[in-house]
Amino acid sequence: METITRIQVGGDQPYEVVMGDHVTFALPGFLKGAAKAAVIFTDSVSHDASHAVHELIDVGIEATPIEVPDAEAGKTLEVAGRCWDVLGAAGFTRSDAIVGVGGGALTDLAGFVAATWLRGVRWVPIATSINGMVDAAIGGKTAINIAAGKNLVGAFHPPAGVLCELSALRSLPQAQLNAGLAEVVKCGFIADPAILGLIGKPDALPELIERSIRVKADVVSQDLRESGLREILNYGHTLAHAIEKVEDYRWSHGHAVSVGLVYAAILGRLTGRPDFVEQTRSLLASLGLPTTYDGPWEKLRAAMAVDKKARGSSLRFVLLDDMAHPVTVTIEDEGLLAKAYEDLRA
């Protein structure tokens, strides 16, 4: 019998995360009362999308497939506009729904389309990547990218439920799986150190994903709109998002987060906090992930200026006062930021 794990996400709009193999059976239960559902997907997950379509048809929900570009190329205003046009032509109403099948970028897009269509309709992400499962699909943060930066246009719009399709991971190359584990390593440092001891162990992937989901579920249950606690989930992401922008999204999110985690550890050391630099580098390197970067500091600093945690001209970083004790720190010393980057490059 296949193992299905259910994790509750609390808050004002609680929902359930269903994790396991072949979990699309749970999709209709989240969409009761819908006459239509758009299934937004990328070509790389067309097989999983077809399962979702069949589940909808079997319960009498009219399914409208919408294929979009893969990865960050799909997170644009133009692509969102195409989706809205399809919804309008098909007569989608407020009782209808959106289903997003794919990795983190796809679920970000699908959630944003759902949040903005008729000021908000139900949606369900079916996550098929590690990043989607442990981060993007959970918590209701939806967004697209614009020229000024990543995820700058978006909305908080919690899903009706989340499906994490573990079977989809078996077809992914090891390098792609490892890139997704950067977000898992992050969860280990900020909340669940047991995760760090499981990295690299055979057959540990389902437990790593479950533990990381529970970390995020606990945080977003307490702070949906990132008014405080939820900021800890951005550990390593201030530089990571800047790298993605400077590289025009040619770097994967996981690779950028890997470098961002090292930079945050270096900043922690330079500000007198416990030194997790070598542990961070060692863990990430064991996964074949990058731990250095050599792009232009001026462009990176400009990109970080529009980070969501920035306040005025000051940058705010999530650092570690100790293992599993993250804090948000304002850093105004430009020399310190540049010194940390020089250490990263070295």
Active site residues: 119, 141, 183, 216, 226, 230, 234, 237, 241, 253
Q: Which residues contact 344 (CB under 8 A, 6 or more apart)?
A: 259, 262, 263, 266, 292, 293
Q: Terminus-to-terminus CA distance in the chain, angstroms?
A: 51
Nearest Cα to Cα of residue 65 among 57, 77, 53: 53
Q: What is the 3-state secondary structure (H, E, C) of the chain?
A: CCCEEEEEECCCCCEEEEEECCHHHHHHHHCCCCCEEEEEECHHHHHHHHHHHHHHHHCCCEEEEEECCCHHHHCCHHHHHHHHHHHHHHCCCCCCEEEEEECHHHHHHHHHHHHHHHHCCEEEEEECCHHHHHHHCCCCEEEEEECCEEEEEEEECCCCCEEEEHHHHHHCCHHHHHHHHHHHHHHHHHCCCHHHHHCCCCCCHHHHHHHHHHHHHHHHHHCCCCCCHHHHHHCCHHHHHHHHHHCCCCCCHHHHHHHHHHHHHHHHHHCCCCCCHHHHHHHHHHCCCCCCCCCCHHHHHHHHCCCCCCECCEEEEEEEEECCEEEEEEECCHHHHHHHHHHHHC
